Structure 1
Amino acid sequence: MPQGRSASLPFDTPQSFIERIVYHVEKAIVGKRESIESAVVAFLCGGHILLEDVPGVGKTMLVRALAKTVGASFKRIQCTPDLLPSDVTGVSIYNQKTGQFEFRPGPVMANVVLADEMNRASPKTQSALLEAMEEKQLTVDGETYRLPEPFVLLATQNPIEHEGTFPLPEAQLDRFLLKIRLGYPEETHEVDMLGRLQDRHPLDEVKTVLLREEWASLQRDVRQVHVEDTLKQYIVRLLSATRAHPDVALGASPRASFALMRVAQAKAYCAGRGYVVPDDIKSMAVQTIAHRLVLHPDARYTGKTAEAVVKQLIASVPVPAVRAASGGSL
């Protein structure tokens, strides 16, 4: 647990603490607990999220609510075809008074950045975010600037309307830790949502649960969660199976192996455990792996999906036995 948290916040375990984060986000996003928990897992890993869904289901609201609960600075980039890389990263401007160039940071200089409709930005602008996503830094006019810590990019895209869009390249998709879909709410949840929206904005009830420094401390805690060697081997076998699958033209990269191990650690941490179990890996595999796969055209034409391939591999790759005594509870 981060030092000093108990003095300011009434939580005894990571499990109850994270439950409070989910509770507050659910005040803005009704009936989507599983998607919210997945987003919290990504935040604990310091990983980026691709939110792909139809308009109006709460993608932007989810991002803003998460940023508010963790007390983070938040910036939004509305991606359009005419958006320039400098509009994202910032620009150096000559100051006549001092006779020097001064860097004016762009919206990417924040803890939580929303790239709304990222696939509408040109490939040149999309690539400007690659360095930020991977290296947590920017290079502008030969000068390197560190991004604030922690840093998480959340990008949205509409899977239905493709006119005027630029599909994200595989190299960029591979840098997203998770791909999350919200989907339409159930009728009872939608009625509840209308009641909440009748006289107030849903974000008004979302409270800050932890400080930015405590968020960074939680991320350090997650990295200490124990992963047995047999489970590391299981992750590698699962990812290797994607590369040999007959329907897959491009399998998951070694970066995906690391991503799956990290989200499994965060999943275990959310459950109050200091060690990973196979179910932590299996429960996060689809969201971690599927968006990194490229299927053969024949497989796509017959209606097969990357999600279905990953589910098939989860069912077919043998799960190792894990000693119950490994690690411990938090």
Structure 2
Amino acid sequence: MSKPWILVSPASRGIGHALTRHLLRTTTAPILATARTDLPGVRSSILNSLSTTSSEEKDAVSKRLHLTHLDVTSEPSLASASAEARRLFPAETHHLRLAFALPGVLRPEKSPADVDYDAALRTLRVNVLGPLMLMKWFGDFLPRKSVEVSLDPLFTSALPTTSESESEDRGGEEGGGKGKASPHATFLLASARVGSTSDNRLGGWYTYRASKSAVISLARTYDLFLRNRSGDKAVSIAYHPGTVRTDLSREYWDRVRPEKLFTPEYAAERMVEIVRTRRVAEHRGRCWDWRGEEVLP
């Protein structure tokens, strides 16, 4: 019976950092988290922010967290991280159950005259080629049709959930904290609502919009590949987390209503909950937001 593991890339700060902490608290699987720099510091930051009741519990959580260097703009770095994953989680005994491909940078442009070639190229390298290369180097860890996956619950029974009032303020909790997650694997790519061509009413942000549109397309294209390779055992989706209080959105915090500016912790909770409540036949290959509503291409 193949055992599950989880990938979070990157996990050095922002949503990825909060997501890794959340998954350590709410799942039983080992986690491979990535960072470009200061791996010991990232590891300490993640573990020190967790509340553990005993030294045994702390040791158990620590053993589940693995940090490895990964720079999505460097293919040798991706190859090395993939080799580390294969060492930790041999294909004969393990499969990738949840993969969160979260690389992203933002340099807004109001008009074509604002586009800087080198900056635009970096945005596309990180936001588009980043998740695509994560697919290339980690997609083989997803279960194939023939793999017999464990049906044991991945998530613990006691999930921390948002309060009812906060849930109502922020659009509801589709699926709530109830029910068991489906045993299929999910490869999630971080997109954004501005990547929706059909919902583009304001213009601007040329490179970022293009990159996030590409991510929605990649999620669909990759899911079509997984249908043949993995059947119902694995799916790909894109995801819009809303506006989150991270360095990427810092310049726009004062333009967002307080109830619509999410903490990384809340964003991580919603991301996991959406993944837990997606069903293969109805939801695969599409882009979803933090409320569980589809973001159309």
TM-score by length of 2: 0.31
